[in-house]
Every structure is written in C-alpha cells, then in structure tokens.
Structure 1
Amino acid sequence: MLRTGRSGLRYVQSYGLVNALGNRVAGRVGSMSLRPIAPVQVRMQSQGGNVESNISQTEQASAQEQEQYRLSDEQVDEWMNAIRNLEEEFSQGEYNPATSLAPENQSRVNILEKAMELNKPKFEPTAEQVEEWERLKTVPIPKREDKTLQHVTNMIMRHGKKERAQKILSRALYIVFCQTRKDPVKVLKESLDVLAPLMLVKTFKTGVAKATVVPVPLNQRQRFRVAWKWIVESSAKRSSSDFAVRLGEELVAVYKGNSSGFEKRDSIHKTAIAHRAYINLK
C-alpha cells in the first residue's frame, strides 16, 4: 500500500495527478473537495509567421507532459486508497509523521535516521581501488612528529619563537634536498649520527696538583646535541647572511664529510682513548 502524508497530498496537487484522476477523485474523496486543475493557457507573442509553429511545439510539449504523468487504473486506485487512509488519519487526531510513516510491523519510525540513511552516499570501490587498498594495508603509517626534528627545532628556537625555528629548519632542509636530491630528513639524521662523538671528556679535581680527565659516554640525544652545536658553530663561518642558507650548506658539507666538526670529534676520541684507564665502570 502506498503511504503518504501532507507532502504526498501536495505532490498529487503539484504534478497534475488530480487531473489524471479527474472526476473520480472529486466524487470519491467526500469532504476533501479536490477539483481538477484547469489546463495552463499559454500566451505567445511573435512576429511574422512563426505563431503556428510555436503553437504546434507547445501542443507537442503538453502532449508529452500528459503522456509522462498519465496513470493507469491500478495507480489511480492506489492513490485513492492512500487519500482515504490519509483522510481517516486526519479525522482520528493530530497528524504525527513518526507513526503515519512507520512500516506495518512498527509503531513508530525515526524520521531523522531514515533521512540520513537515504541521503547517505553509496560508495562502491573499483577493482583498482580495492587492489591499492590491499597493497597499502602493510605500509606503516608515518608518525605525525619526528623526535629528531623536534629536538633540532628546539635547539634552533630562541625566546620561545618555535614557528620561526621551524621555518628556518624547513628552508635548510629544502636546500639540502636541492643539492643532494635525497630525503633531507634522512640526510639530517645520518649527518648527526656520523658527526656526533661517542663520549666526552670531563676534568675532575683530585685534591692534588694534577686533575683527572675522565671519559664520559653519551646517549643518542646528548650526541646529537653536541653534533648540532658543532654544525651551528661551523655554519657561522660561512659567507651567507641568511642563517637557513648557512645551515643547509653546512649540513651538505657534513653529509659529504667536508665539515670542520670531524676534527673536533677525532680530537675528543683521541683524548678519551688516552685516558681510558680512568673510566668508572661501576
């Protein structure tokens, strides 16, 4: 059975279905007096002899429209039953769309959920998209933030201006990419790992005339901090007035093994090896 509401009744009136029902609707509805809608009168103004052709085109269009909205006897009976049910529902009490639009096996229906289900786009992936999805399932999702980049950004930052430090590092890494044509983040990590010393030497007073030089091992974060300090010191000797340009050129030099920081690293390692007897293993 076709169920309808106030909107369904407006649909009947707006699309000329009352005209298709004709006098059957006007006679059967009863208290709901529905009158057939008069055909639309078209006034046309034209020049010359095009009036007859325009009238014939209008007649053809109206005939096509009537053919499009022509109803069979079964459809007419279905609409009549729907109108009777609507009249009975209005006569019983206040109109409630949640109950009137519910299926036969349900007492109420959630109109909002039904509307969302109808308006929800239906997506069917193609074979290529399914194949790509299966291929990308095993690809690990990259981390949102890299710890090394965060550490370097914090070392560049001055007076809490982190956004400015990020722009400087981004420009420096772009220069690295332009000169090496490789992933600048990997180049940065490799440069820091190669340049960073494994240990530092610290001088301790022993209470006698001679102090003791003790090698102290470093963790990765401490090693990268020392290496970055050397990179910044070496970049200050370059001729460019832009810090990002100097930084990018120095990173490329470290990646190629031409930085002056390697001399500092070798010197620290030689001193640590010479004083290896003072290493505290406890």
Structure 2
Amino acid sequence: MSRQSTAEKKIAKFDPIYHNRVVNMVVNRILKHGKKSLAYRILYQSLTKIQQKTEKNPLIVLRQAIHKVTPKLIVKSRRVSGSTYQVPMEIRSKKGKVLAIRWLLGSSRKRSGRNMHFKLSYELMDAAREKGNAIRKKEETHRMAESNKAFAHYR
C-alpha cells in the first residue's frame, strides 16, 4: 500500500475573531520567534486601520489585495546540458496565494516607519488599488516569464 493514501492532508485552521483561513495564513507568515499573539495583534490592528480608512469590510480589502498580487506564472532556474535557463512555469492557486502573502509582508516590512500594523495596512490598501511594491513584484515576475517564453519547452 502506498504511503500517499494514508498520509493526512493539512487542514488550514481558522483565526479566533474573523473565523477565516486567509487571516490565519497571514498571521502564520507574520509570525517571528514564535510570538503568535504579537502577530495576531499586528494583523488585527492593521485590519481595524483599513476599516477606518476605507470604510469597507477589511476582509474584502485583504482578499482583494491577495488576489491582485497573486502571480499566474513564475520563473524557475533549470540546468540543461551545462547551461542554466530561466524557465517560465504556471503555478497553482494555493502556491500563488502563499507567494502573494509573502510578497505583501516583505514589501510592508521594507516600508519606512516603526509600526508594523501601519505599514501592513497601507501596503494592503495599496495592493487592493493595484499600487505598491508587491504589485510591482508581481508585474516584474510576469515580465520575466514573458521575456523567457522561448525556454518554456525545458519545463
């Protein structure tokens, strides 16, 4: 019997306030040094800041930001007969969502300022409006994949 059928799949858990899996994914990516309560506080403060600024449901803004930053193509390095090629590959939606969350948090950490919840809230609002560094990262990745389309047969 193969091990694949007996292995359990990971089930994403819900966060305590919004009961949303996406919020829990973001909290787990914010997490540093095992301080989950601090990660929850940062995200919840940024969501309340979004609600005050936009007067919309902050979960909708969060979903829009992640959806607009999610890439469809990525570029992977493949070594073929001594040469390394940048090969464009399509990715699944779950991997794209993970990349989008990582890019959003990375670009919010690079913003100037001390308060992470301010930086995260403004980055999420910018991404929902299709601005910001995370959107630029997605466009850059798509541009790289488009320019290396000739190497797609090395998949």
TM, length-normalised to structure 1? 0.45
Match of 2:84 in 1: 211
Q: Over residues 8-64 of structure 1, what are the superposed CA-to-partner deviations in whole Å (9 max), with x where a residue is unaligned?
A: xxxxxxxxxxxxxxxxxxxxxxxxxxxxxxxxxxxxxxxxxxxxxxxxxxxxxxxxx
Structure 2 runs not aligned, ≥5 long: 1-17
Contact persistence 1:199–1:272 (CA under 8 A): yes
Structure 1 runs not aligned, ≥5 long: 1-143
Letter in 2 for 1:224: K
Q: Over residues 84-119 of structure 1, what are the superposed CA-to-partner deviations in whole Å (9 max), with x where a residue is unaligned?
A: xxxxxxxxxxxxxxxxxxxxxxxxxxxxxxxxxxxx
- Please report the RMSD computed on the Cα atoms of aligned residues, expressed in angstroms: 2.1
Letter in 2 for 1:240: G
SS of the equivalent of 1:145 reads coil
Post-superposition offset of 1:163: 1.9
Letter in 2 for 1:165: A
Contact persistence 2:69–2:138 (CA under 8 A): yes
Q: How many Å separate the matches in 1 of 2:110 and 2:38?
A: 22
Task: Give the 3 Å change call, closer, same or farther, for CA 167–249 of structure 1 in structure 2.
Answer: same
Match for residue 67 of structure 2 among 181, 193, 214: 193
Number of residue equivalences: 138
Structure showing the higher strand proportion among its residues: 2
Tell me which moved more, 153-162 or 267-276: 267-276
Letter in 2 for 1:177: Q
Match for residue 150 of structure 1 among 6, 24, 28: 24
* 2:123 aligned with 1:244: no
Contact persistence 2:87–2:154 (CA under 8 A): no
Q: How many Å separate the matches in 1 of 2:81 and 2:154?
A: 22
Q: Over residues 177-222 of structure 1, what are the superposed CA-to-partner deviations in whole Å (9 max), with x where a residue is unaligned?
A: 11111010111011111012112101111122x3122122222222
Post-superposition offset of 1:280: 5.7
Larger radius of gyration: 1
Match of 2:51 in 1: 177
Q: How many Å separate the matches in 2 of 1:217 and 1:146?
A: 27
Q: Which has the higher contact order (CA 8 A, sep 6+)?
A: 2
The aligned runs of 1:1-282 (5 Å cut-off) are 145-208=19-82, 210-279=83-152
- Identity level (%): 25
